């Protein structure tokens, strides 16, 4: 009986996300509460579909952007992006030795913190030949911090009186996963969303040099570099919108649908979190990840403000 009622509530919440009745923060919270009070149906399928939904949604957001503005935003965020990635990677290597965290686990957490959360972890894992448990722990830590960021960043943005453009840049740099970056920016405003998405996706391209760096660091045999090809589709969507190759109504529909798919993605992310996973992670990897996150958040905020 509980399984049936869980499925009913699950589908009702999915519909609520798609109809725009939930915002990004409430969708994530609903997903997490679902894991506490009900049986999560389709947990494994949800984990697989999250990346696909996120990619489709991000591509759809491209239909609301223009080429000239996108290039300008990417250029403005390049210096901060490069500095934050290099410094976070260097700090990650030092803190891993200080906290005596497993070398592969610390590298996955550092990769997720410096670039794009779960996507970076997924790309780097096969290169360094990380075990399943190590990957799960790294993703659990990153997703937990993502959840905190989704609620705290909009509040901090208003507290520091950040403009839409400043908040968009800050969230793109300091929040790990693309879904939480877009979720936080979505609640801050349309301009923040546009800038956050653009800078975050240009940041995702750093997975490629990070992959080669990981190969040099761990020297695995037969390690393969995964290229995030969905970014090409995102760029194509920007081109299509910039040159009005499709009706304006289509672009508006694509952007609206994408925003709702992102809310649904955050709900599904919430259903993959569990208190047991967080407890099983232990305190060392959590403190290690939290230290890196505080550094990149503080560094990027000071850079943007001053």
Nearest to 298 by CA among 180, 168, 170, 206: 170
Contacts of 246 (CB under 8 A, 6+ apart): 63, 240
Are residues 184 and 176 in contact, defined by beta-carbon separation less than 8 angstroms?
A: no
Are residues 60 and 222 in contact, defined by beta-carbon separation less than 8 angstroms?
A: no
Count of CB atoms within 10 A of residue 89's CB? 19
Distance (Å, rounded) from C-alpha 21 to C-alpha 19? Answer: 6
User: Which residue do the tokens 């060392």 mark?
Assistant: 284
- Residue 271: its pLDDT value, please? 84
Extract the tokens encoding 304.
Answer: 């943007």
pTM over 0.85: no
Range 283-305 burial, b when 16+ CB lie within 10 A, else e: eebbebbbbbbebbbebbbeebe
- Residue 220: its pLDDT value, please? 64
User: Which residue do the tokens 């995964």 mark?
Assistant: 226
Nearest to 269 by CA among 147, 164, 117, 136: 147
Extract the tokens encoding 254.
Answer: 């694509």
Nearest to 270 by CA among 37, 8, 4: 37
pLDDT tens for the chain, 306 residues long, are 667 888 899 999 999 999 989 877 788 788 888 888 888 888 778 877 877 887 788 788 888 878 777 777 777 778 888 999 999 999 999 999 998 888 999 999 999 899 877 778 877 877 788 876 677 678 778 878 888 898 899 999 999 999 999 999 999 999 988 778 888 998 898 899 989 988 887 887 787 788 888 888 887 666 566 666 777 888 888 889 888 888 989 989 998 898 888 788 878 877 876 677 667 667 888 899 999 999 999 999 999 998
- Residue 244: its pLDDT value, please? 86
- Residue 1: its pLDDT value, please? 60
Classify residue 222 as exposed, middle or buried by CB count within 10 Å of its CB (0-12, 13-18, 19+): exposed
- Residue 228: its pLDDT value, please? 62
Question: Can you state the angle between helices 248-272 and 132-159, rounded to 10 degrees?
Answer: 120
């Amino acid at each position: 009986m509980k399984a049936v009622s869980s499925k009913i509530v699950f589908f009702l919440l999915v519909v609520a996300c798609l109809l725009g009745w939930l915002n990004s923060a409430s969708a994530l919270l609903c997903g997490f509460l679902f894991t506490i009070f009900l049986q999560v149906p389709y947990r494994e399928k949800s984990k697989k579909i999250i990346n696909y939904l996120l990619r489709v949604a991000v591509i759809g957001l491209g239909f609301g952007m223009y080429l000239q503005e996108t290039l300008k935003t990417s250029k403005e965020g390049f210096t901060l992006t490069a500095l934050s990635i290099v410094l976070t990677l260097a700090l990650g290597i030092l803190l891993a030795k200080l906290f005596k965290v497993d070398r592969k686990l610390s590298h996955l957490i550092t990769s997720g913190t410096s670039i794009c959360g779960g996507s970076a972890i997924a790309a780097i894992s096969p290169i360094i030949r990380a075990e399943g448990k190590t990957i799960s722990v790294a993703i659990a830590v990153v997703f937990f911090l993502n959840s905190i960021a989704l609620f705290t960043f909009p509040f901090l943005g208003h507290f520091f009186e950040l403009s839409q453009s400043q908040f968009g840049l800050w969230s793109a740099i300091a929040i790990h996963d693309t879904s939480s970056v877009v979720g936080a920016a979505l609640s801050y405003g349309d301009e923040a969303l546009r800038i956050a998405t653009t800078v975050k996706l240009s940041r995702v391209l750093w997975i490629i040099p990070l992959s080669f760096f990981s190969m040099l660091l761990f020297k695995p045999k037969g390690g393969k570099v995964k290229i995030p090809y969905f970014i090409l589709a995102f760029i194509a969507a920007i081109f299509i919108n910039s040159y009005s190759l499709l009706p304006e109504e289509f672009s508006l529909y694509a952007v609206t649908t994408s925003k709702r798919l992102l809310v649904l993605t955050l709900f599904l992310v919430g259903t993959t979190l569990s208190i047991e996973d967080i407890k099983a992670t232990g305190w060392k990897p959590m403190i290690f990840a939290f230290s890196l996150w505080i550094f990149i958040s503080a560094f990027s905020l000071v850079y943007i403000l001053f």
